[in-house]
Amino acid sequence: MSSSTPYTQHRTDASAEVLLHLDDAGFRYGHRGGHIKRRRTDHRAGLHRSGHRFSRWIFRNVNLQVRRGEVLAILGRNGVGKSTLLNCLIGLNSLTEGSIHLGGEPLDSLTATERARRIAYLPQMEGRGISYTVTEYLLMGRAPYIGLFSSPSRRDREQVHTVMEELGLLDLAHSPLDELSGGQRQQVGIARTLVQDAPLIVLDEPTSALDVANQAKVLRKIRQLRDAGYGVIFTTHNPDHALLLDATVALLGVHDMPDTMPNATPQVSAHAPA
């Protein structure tokens, strides 16, 4: 992504502002359906009593931050709670303990529109079963800037066209999303995060189910986003992806640094599900 890239640039200097900050964050689901008998807490299974209910910590004691122009890779095995953590970052789930700040403001103090203007999220394999065309789908990414009863403006359409041109997607402009390959859908998903024009981009397993060639394309795009000054968070269970991007590494559910990650910067200490 060159300096001539027409859509918004977010590059700053070495003292780049903190876009996201988590402090002692923890999350657990409480079981519903009545009370249980008193019993001793089994810490080995990650189970703790809360009043009369039994609940399970998905993660705990998470501390991390992301600045402009930085890539954070959240590493952990499948099922360790990476997607749940991301859902907390974007406000779909509320933390059980700790706090999240976006741009220096508490996440829970922001409206949905304010959040969407600060953080863009791409879930795993977005686009399956969606019959909208690529252009229509990307225009939905402009929702934070369009009034409830308004239509996309000329500027919104120009923004979408610019991003499609930059990512080489113009030939797919009128193609239904559910007819694209997995690699094409992932590129379109990244394009949607860009048209949202938020400084922080969150990608959940962006290389999942992609072949090696398409994985390389996604990793190149993440590197370009970093170089353009975006903050990027992505989850993965592949340490090589973090190393290829020279990313800051947060280990979820891992308490000892693996020998294969000697240069990693562990930012996360968390309980993994049993």
Tell me, yes or no, whether 155 lies in a domain. yes
Rounded to whole angstroms, what are the CA distances from 42 to 26, 36, 38, 39, 56?
18, 15, 12, 9, 10
Residue keyed to tokens 């060639």? 213
Q: Cα(45)–Cα(69) distance, rounded to whole angstroms?
A: 38
Tell me, yes or no, whether 1 lies in a domain. no
**pLDDT per position in the chain (274 positions), as tens?**
333 344 454 444 446 789 999 999 999 987 443 333 333 333 333 333 333 344 788 998 999 999 999 999 999 888 889 999 999 999 999 999 999 999 999 999 999 999 999 999 999 866 566 789 999 999 999 999 998 888 999 999 999 999 999 999 999 999 999 899 988 999 999 999 999 999 999 999 999 888 899 899 899 999 999 999 999 999 998 999 999 999 999 988 765 445 445 444 444 444 333 3
Around Cβ 75, how many Cβ atoms within 10 Å?
25
Q: Cα(140)–Cα(143) distance, rounded to whole angstroms?
A: 5
Tell me, yes or no, whether 217 lies in a domain. yes
Tell me, yes or no, whether 47 lies in a domain. no
SS3 221: helix
Tell me, yes or no, whether 209 lies in a domain. yes
Range of the domain at 94: 18-22+65-251
Q: What is the dihedral of CA 90, 257, 253, 59, to 10 degrees?
A: -50
Question: CATH no. for residue 173?
Answer: 3.40.50.300
111 CB-near residues (< 8 Å, 6+ apart): none
Tell me, yes or no, whether 27 lies in a domain. no
SS3 121: strand
Q: Number of structural domains, the chain?
A: 1
Tell me, yes or no, whether 177 lies in a domain. yes
Q: Tokens in use for 189?
A: 């998903």
Tell me, yes or no, whether 228 lies in a domain. yes
Residue type, 154: R
Task: Give the predicted TM-score (pTM) of the model.
Answer: 0.79
